[in-house]
């Protein structure tokens, strides 16, 4: 009878090690407003994704397309131009070799983040060397929840409050749970998000990772879109105070202190540290840990709190070790509940330095890679920061957090270089023996 080998060994007896995963590069389309007047009205979602994949290859000429081992693309509504195994179809449409496989993934708002962590796990395990991961959401073509058929048991068995199926209602519930988070606080936070994004645009921090997208509108001809459509940099507190509260009479959530309905796509290249070194690819971040957590669907916005606690525990870090936070701003109340939990002030300079989704938009499944792009830029300009996080809440009661390490920090160790040096030393010692 054959004896089962230890789980940490291959059949050859050599130990299996988890490889380091690095974020090589990320891009996105400018984000548009959903609807007939938006910049992407009449544009297909899969074509937005193709733009991102092609731009990644253009920006990284040392990466042969045939070396890409997987393409993972997320979308919340997987039908029409966001259906048909989107990762595979986008890979073919982008001109990648037919040998490159792909798949589609859905975790609502954390779709692209899940595409990243899922393929990163494959890299760490050794199944992949290089992948492309991202997400797309065309909310003009596919309004959130369109075509969905929730199981009647959700209502008949009261599995969740019916209001939990509407994200705006869950944000109002979060206000109820945390009365210290007033509408005045959320409006002030929203204004700051608009101002920080405007400042980031003025200093050319956003533009380098945007892919120009040409769109055609009847009667208007072609337009090349190079900037985000949603921002409202001149918004004032008086403007926000006058907005209606659509989810509850005399409520606190408005279109001004929440992300809008948007269209857009994102994509990133991830690799093992060894493959990045072999191919001469840049290393913008190293993956440290990640975690997902479930919470009550009725207050889904609190999801980033337990997800972050799990990710920190997995990494052996504390919240004090985190020097930069990229928090998706689905709703201002959701961000503020996270900050209050960890004792972080509303205007802490570590938080969303370039602004967030309240200003730039939130095309659901695509947003995770936008957070990563912005964190990578901040790592580059601030080598004093060693660790940063990207985190977001997720519809139906979940949270997601990824912790990254800054390769520009003085304590960062390039594991691929270290392993090369170790191998070289071992070879030298073997020769001497």
CA 259/CA 241 separation, integer angstroms: 16
Assess contact for 360 and 230: CB atoms under 8 A: yes
- CA distances 396 to 159, 169, 328, Å, are 11, 12, 16
Contacts of 349 (CB under 8 A, 6+ apart): none
List the catalytic residue out of 109, 138, 142, 175.
109
Sign, CA dihedral 379-385-387-389, equals negative
Is 109 a known active-site residue? yes
Set 138, 142, 175, 393: catalytic member:
393
Cα–Cα distance, 309 to 318 (Å, whole number) = 8
| 283 contact partners, CB below 8 Å, separation of at least 6 | 22, 23, 24, 273, 276, 407, 414
Strands 130-138 and 221-225: unpaired
Q: What is the dihedral of CA 364, 366, 367, 368, to 10 degrees?
A: 120
Give Cβ neighbours of residue 12 (< 8 Å, ≥ 6 apart): none
Helices 86-93 & 45-59 angle (0-180, nearest 10): 60
* Alpha helices by DSSP H, 225-320: 237-241, 273-279, 304-315
Among residues 138, 142, 175, 362, which one is catalytic?
A: 362
Residues marked active site are found at 109, 362, 393
């Amino acid at each position: 009878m054959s004896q089962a080998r230890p789980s940490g060994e291959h059949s050859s007896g050599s130990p299996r090690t988890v490889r380091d995963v690095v974020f090589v590069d990320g891009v996105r389309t400018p984000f548009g407003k959903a609807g007939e007047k938006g910049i992407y009205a009449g544009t297909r979602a899969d074509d937005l994704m193709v733009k991102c994949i092609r731009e990644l290859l253009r920006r990284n000429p040392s990466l042969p397309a045939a070396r890409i081992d997987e393409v993972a693309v997320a979308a919340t509504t997987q039908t029409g131009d966001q259906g048909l195994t989107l990762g595979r179809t986008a890979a073919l449409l982008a001109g990648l070799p037919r040998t490159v496989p792909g798949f589609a993934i859905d975790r609502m708002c954390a779709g692209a983040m899940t595409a990243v962590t899922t393929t990163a796990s494959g890299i760490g395990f050794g199944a992949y060397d290089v992948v492309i991961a991202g997400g797309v959401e065309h909310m003009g073509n596919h309004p959130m929840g369109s075509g969905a058929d929730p199981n009647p048991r959700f209502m008949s068995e009261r599995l969740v409050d019916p209001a939990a199926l509407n994200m705006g209602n869950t944000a109002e519930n979060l206000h109820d749970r945390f009365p210290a988070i007033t509408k005045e606080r959320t409006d002030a936070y929203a204004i700051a998000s608009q101002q920080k994004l405007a400042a980031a645009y003025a200093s050319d921090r956003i533009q380098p990772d945007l892919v120009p997208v040409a769109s055609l509108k009847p009667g208007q001809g072609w337009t090349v879109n190079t900037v985000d459509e949603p921002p409202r940099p001149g918004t004032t507190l008086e403007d926000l105070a006058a907005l209606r509260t659509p989810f509850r009479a005399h409520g606190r959530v408005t279109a001004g202190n929440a992300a809008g309905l948007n269209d857009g796509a994102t994509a990133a290249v991830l690799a093992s540290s060894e493959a990045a070194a072999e191919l001469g690819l840049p290393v913008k971040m190293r993956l440290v840990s990640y975690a997902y957590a479930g919470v009550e669907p009725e207050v889904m916005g609190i999801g980033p709190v337990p997800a972050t606690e799990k990710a920190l525990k997995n990494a052996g870090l504390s919240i004090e070790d985190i020097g930069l936070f990229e928090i998706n701003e689905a709703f201002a109340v959701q961000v503020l509940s996270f900050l209050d939990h960890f004792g972080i002030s509303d205007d802490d300079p570590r938080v969303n330095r370039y602004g967030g989704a309240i200003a730039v938009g939130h095309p659901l499944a695509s947003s995770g890679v936008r957070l990563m792009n912005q964190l990578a830029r901040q790592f580059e300009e601030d080598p004093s920061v060693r660790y940063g996080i990207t985190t977001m809440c997720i519809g139906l009661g979940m949270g997601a957090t990824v912790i990254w390490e800054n390769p520009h920090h003085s304590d960062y160790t390039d594991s691929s270089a270290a392993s090369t040096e170790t191998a070289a030393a071992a070879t030298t010692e073997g020769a001497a023996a």
